[in-house]
Amino acid sequence: MVPVRTNIANGKETCLWCDNCGTLLLGRRCSKCGSTGREFEINSPGDIRPCMGDSVRILEDLLEEAFGTAIPIKGCSVFFNKVPGEDRTDEIIAYGNVIGVLRFDIASDRLRVELRQAGAERGDPVGTKNIGRSFGVSGHLKGKSVPGENVSEVIGTFSSEDPIIVRKGLKMGPGIAMADSDKMKSAEKALRIRDLNTLSGITICPNAGRDVFVECNRGHLEKLENTAVNEVRSYVKGKTQPVTVSFSGGKDSLAAYGIAAKAVKSPELLFTNTGLEFPETLEYVERFVRNRRLVLHTAQAGNAFKDNVDTFGPPAKDFRWCCKVCKLGPISELISRNYPKGTITCEGNRSLESFTRAGTELVTRNPFVPNQINLNPVRNWCAAEIWGYIWMKGLEYNPLYERDFERIGCYLCASCLASEWRNTARIHPEMYQDWESYLHAYAERNGLPPEYIDMGFWRWKVLPPKMRQLADGLELKMEPRGGNGLSMKLMKGASVCVAGGYSMEAIATVPRNRDFAYVEDALRTVGDVKYSSEFEIAMVRMKTGKARLFGGGQVSVTAEDAAGAERTFEKAVKALIRAELCTQCGICAKTCPRKAIRIKGGMKVDPERCTSCGKCESACMVVHYYDKIMSGKTLPAPEACAMPSAQKTQTSERRDGFRGGNGRRPQGGRSQNRGGGQPQRSGGNRNGGRDAAHGGRDGSRGPRNQGGGRPQNRGGHGQSSRGNGRNGQSGQQPRGGGSRPRL
Ligand code: SF4
Ligand code: SF4
Ligand SMILES: [Zn+2]
């Protein structure tokens, strides 16, 4: 999309709407009527997307429930714009205005709709409930509460905290009830005014569907396509590697396929079956490939997740071992097997997806998949452009997008929002229940309270401050039994490696006191480092050998001789210990002759200055923990190696009902609530009154409703409270804080 303006200070994007045609303009002119559109503002970053399928019905139901009418959006072109919030938070755009916000309220375990001024103006003449008239208050009323004695009329039956439309004289606007409707007039605080204005005269434009949206934006979409296709063609020109498409079953990779298929002849598709896919995704990928007679290579993670989950515990937002085990491992194997001379892979990565993807370039490389060059032709597209393109090209997309999923990934992804997890419960209750049961069993055998699961604490290794505060307030002990001490499980001491030389492997358990990214800095002091934050892997090359460290604690070393392997291992583990247990004493910074170290939440090392002389390590006290953990190491049989390969994994018997398959279950689940009906609480979970305290996408989700159970799910729009956010910030550790190791 071409934002007309971006106002960084206000965090706003200016977009265009065609009032003649009734839809969003992605370019600067409507391809259908020629209009240059009317400007309107949305919040940044502006990854606007169409509201479609179940989402439309859910939104209509919420408006009906709240105001007795869905007229404000009926038949018109509606878009969502994802904005920061504690869980799902979407601005609702209709008639070229932000008419409201749809948010998942964790405390009440349900989706709620709030109006904005334009929505109140549109809903006021047609609404039949949740309306209050006030009088006798004056001055600047925005954000103010109104006492019951100033409420003259209450229309409809509603509850405290429900959205309402407030009328006052000739002005009106959105508000929130602060008392139940029958008690409003006598309440000390009856309602809060969010906004109050005279009518601005919203332009009621014609109804518009997908066809109109595509028609109005055809010129812009074709231009986008041409640019992307030319980029791909220019890059691959003269290169010998075959072009492939990383096809995940999601919309972005579908658009990337569209570009690749136009740019080159018959690109092959690469798909990773993590074993945690929705059945719809597997069926869709198969169907897509079959219908288009494409070549598909599938990397199978098999039981990798199931086989590792007991060792590593549930994946967390700050400990995504599953990405490495279920995605990176299988896809690297597939590429080295099928493309020994490498491949150029078109991917659907987009800058607007997350902070970690912001600023994505056309060409990127993953140091851990050396045979692959990634091209990102849709990196600068917004979600509405992706959809416009998919519709314009008639590309079949994953049907889950019609089921109120904004993004599609593994069904039990620790990074999903509470609302998404609730949506999984709605569509696949048996898959939801499976994982839920596993989590409870995991908590039980690790001496963790049920709240560890019920309140979503399992989604972090290190709780963000507000979650920690909540746990402390409830006097919950959140440390797994014996899980936060230091220990070393040596899988294989320095021994001859089949690939030549010597290797050594271990799992080092070191408390996660801060982000794993600090390992990159600590490792700089011992050698050259490559680091992937996405997969939490660091590789270091030293004079004595090479080491790989994984977020899960695995350490793997190769060297020319046994002494080299042991020396490399020691240096790597000491770096891990420094990274996580650094007390920020600053001694190393003072010791460094090159002034390469600064202390900022932990030890940070300037790679331009550091010569890997090792003086700072000698000065550091915390590295002495290395001797302690090595003195207590255990040495199981070498074949028990749990290094992260889909094929090379430790297994252990399930002690619970988790099947962990990829969802190809008998009658796997489309059976319930198909018609866009509202999500239901899954039965049988252990949380009769689950509280809400879950990580938000900003990582600062605060506790709510600490004391008691949740309110009933009145509207049936409830979604489960598990939760968390998505953009990686939420996993940030409290810098410099955190618990010290118990030794
Ligand atoms: S010397 Fe102090 S500041 Fe430096 S890494 Fe060790 S504990 Fe951290
Ligand atoms: S003392 Fe300074 S130069 Fe030497 S390894 Fe440490 S950070 Fe690098
Ligand atoms: Zn138009």
Angle (CA) 412 711 466, round 5°: 60
Residues 6+ positions from 100 with CB-CB distance below 8 Å = 91, 92, 113, 114, 115, 116, 119, 163, 174
Q: How far apart are CA 156 and CA 315, in angstroms?
A: 46
Atom in ligand 1 nearest the alpha carbon of residue 586: 3
Between the CA of 620 and the centroid of ligand 2 the distance, in Å, is: 11
Pocket of ligand 2 from Cβ distances under 6 Å: 525, 591-592, 594, 596-597, 605, 610-616
Written as six digits, the tokens of 22 are 């009734």
Nearest residue CA, atom 6 of ligand 2? 616
Atom in ligand 1 nearest the alpha carbon of residue 583: 7
Amino acid at residue number 96: G
Q: Mutate which of 577, 582, 610 to test ligand 1's pocket (most atoms within 8 Å of Cβ)?
A: 582
Between the CA of 525 and the centroid of ligand 2 the distance, in Å, is: 5
Q: How far apart are CA 549 and CA 577, in angstroms?
A: 12
| Ligand 1 near 585 CB (within 6 A) | yes
Q: Mutate which of 514, 571, 585, 621 to test ligand 1's pocket (most atoms within 8 Å of Cβ)?
A: 585
Q: What are phi and psi of 286, to 5 degrees?
A: -60, -45
Residues of the chain below pLDDT 70: 1-5, 8-9, 311-312, 318-319, 356, 367-368, 461-462, 466, 479-485, 497-500, 632-743
| Ligand 1 near 583 CB (within 6 A) | yes
Atom in ligand 1 nearest the alpha carbon of residue 581: 7
Q: Residue 250: its pLDDT value, please?
A: 97
Residues 6+ positions from 370 with CB-CB distance below 8 Å = none
Neighbours of 420 (CB within 10 A): 27
Q: Residue 314: its pLDDT value, please?
A: 83
Between the CA of 624 and the centroid of ligand 1 the distance, in Å, is: 12
Q: Residue 700: its pLDDT value, please?
A: 30
Give the global pTM: 0.71
Spell out the long-range contacts of 471-480 with Cβ–Cβ below 8 A and sequence spacing 24 or more. Answer: 473/703, 473/706, 474/706, 476/449, 476/451, 476/452, 477/447, 477/448, 477/449, 478/448, 478/449, 478/452, 479/739, 480/313, 480/446, 480/447, 480/448
Atom in ligand 2 nearest the alpha carbon of residue 617: 6
Q: What are phi and psi of 225, to 5 degrees?
A: -60, -45
Q: What is the per-residue burial (b if ≥16 Cβ within 10 Å, else e) of 563-574? A: ebbbbbbbbbbb
Q: Mutate which of 610, 620, 623 to test ligand 2's pocket (most atoms within 8 Å of Cβ)?
A: 610
Taking a C-beta distance cutoff of 8 angstroms, is the pair 544, 559 a contact? yes
Q: Which of 156, 112, 103, 129 is nearest to 711 (CA)?
A: 112
Q: What is the per-residue burial (b if ≥16 Cβ within 10 Å, else e) of 498-537? A: eeebbbbbbbbbbbbbbbbbbbbbbbbbbbebebbebbbb
Nearest residue CA, atom 8 of ligand 2? 610
Q: How far apart are CA 649 and CA 640, in angstroms?
A: 8
Q: What are phi and psi of 32, to 5 degrees?
A: -90, -50
Q: Residue 497: its pLDDT value, please?
A: 65
Q: Is the dihedral of CA 478, 481, 485, 488 positive or negative?
A: negative
Taking a C-beta distance cutoff of 8 angstroms, is the pair 647, 424 a contact? no
Angle (CA) 262 268 274, round 5°: 125
- Among left, alpha and beta (phi > 0; psi -120 to 50; other), residue 553 is left
Nearest ligand by distance to the CA of 524: 2
Taking a C-beta distance cutoff of 8 angstroms, is the pair 538, 549 a contact? yes
Q: Three-state SS string across 120-179, please?
A: HHHHCCCCCCCEEEECCCCCCCCCCEECHHHEEEEECCCCCCCEEEEEECCEEEEEEECC
Between the CA of 136 and the centroid of ligand 1 the distance, in Å, is: 64
Q: Mutate which of 523, 597, 598, 622 to test ligand 1's pocket (most atoms within 8 Å of Cβ)?
A: 622
Between the CA of 620 and the centroid of ligand 1 the distance, in Å, is: 5
Name the one residue in this structure whose structure tokens are 């030293």: 542
Taking a C-beta distance cutoff of 8 angstroms, is the pair 598, 590 a contact? no
Q: How far apart are CA 251 and CA 258, in angstroms?
A: 11
Name the one residue in this structure whose structure tokens are 């004079």: 543
Written as six digits, the tokens of 175 are 């508000």
Taking a C-beta distance cutoff of 8 angstroms, is the pair 240, 269 a contact? no
| Ligand 1 near 524 CB (within 6 A) | no
Nearest residue CA, atom 4 of ligand 1? 588
Written as six digits, the tokens of 330 are 């299988």
Q: How far apart are CA 724 and CA 412, in angstroms?
A: 12
Atom in ligand 2 nearest the alpha carbon of residue 597: 7
Sheet with 537-541, side-by-side order of all strands: 487-496, 502-509, 554-559, 545-550, 537-541, 528-532
Q: How far apart are CA 223 and CA 26, in angstroms?
A: 11
Q: Three-state SS string across 310-324, please?
A: HHHCCCECCECHHHH
Helix pair angle (418-427, 429-445), 10° resolution: 120
Q: How far apart are CA 648 and CA 625, in angstroms?
A: 29
Q: What is the per-residue burial (b if ≥16 Cβ within 10 Å, else e) of 5-41? A: eeeeeeebbebbbbbbbbbbbbbebbbbeebebbebb
| Ligand 1 near 740 CB (within 6 A) | no
Nearest ligand by distance to the CA of 571: 2
Taking a C-beta distance cutoff of 8 angstroms, is the pair 419, 112 a contact? no
Between the CA of 732 and the centroid of ligand 2 the distance, in Å, is: 26
Angle (CA) 147 151 155, round 5°: 130
Between the CA of 576 and the centroid of ligand 1 the distance, in Å, is: 12
Which domains are assigned to the chain?
51-198 (3.10.400), 239-403 (3.40.50.620), 416-479+666-731 (no CATH), 487-634 (3.30.310.10)
Written as six digits, the tokens of 159 are 């509850």
Taking a C-beta distance cutoff of 8 angstroms, is the pair 203, 19 a contact? yes
Q: How far apart are CA 102 and CA 82, in angstroms?
A: 10
Written as six digits, the tokens of 90 are 């979407």
Nearest ligand by distance to the CA of 219: 3
| Ligand 1 near 622 CB (within 6 A) | yes
Q: Three-state SS string across 324-389, please?
A: HHHHHHHHHHHHHHHCCCCEEEECCCCHHHCHHHCCCCCEEECCCCCCEEEECCCCCCCHHHHHHH
Atom in ligand 2 nearest the alpha carbon of residue 606: 7
Strand partners, 374: 345, 364
Q: Residue 4: its pLDDT value, please?
A: 65
For 489-514, write each residue's pLDDT tens digit. 777 777 776 566 788 888 888 877 78
Q: Mutate which of 615, 617, 620, 623 to test ligand 2's pocket (most atoms within 8 Å of Cβ)?
A: 615
Q: Output the DSSP codes for 626-677.
A: HHHHHHT-B---GGG---S-SSS------SSS-----S--TT-STTSSTTSP
Q: What is the largest CA-CA distance in the chain?
A: 87
Question: What 3-state class would DSSP assign to 564?
Answer: helix
Neighbours of 591 (CB within 10 A): 15
Question: What 3-state class would DSSP assign to 255?
Answer: helix
Q: How far apart are CA 539 and CA 556, in angstroms?
A: 9
Between the CA of 743 and the centroid of ligand 1 the distance, in Å, is: 18
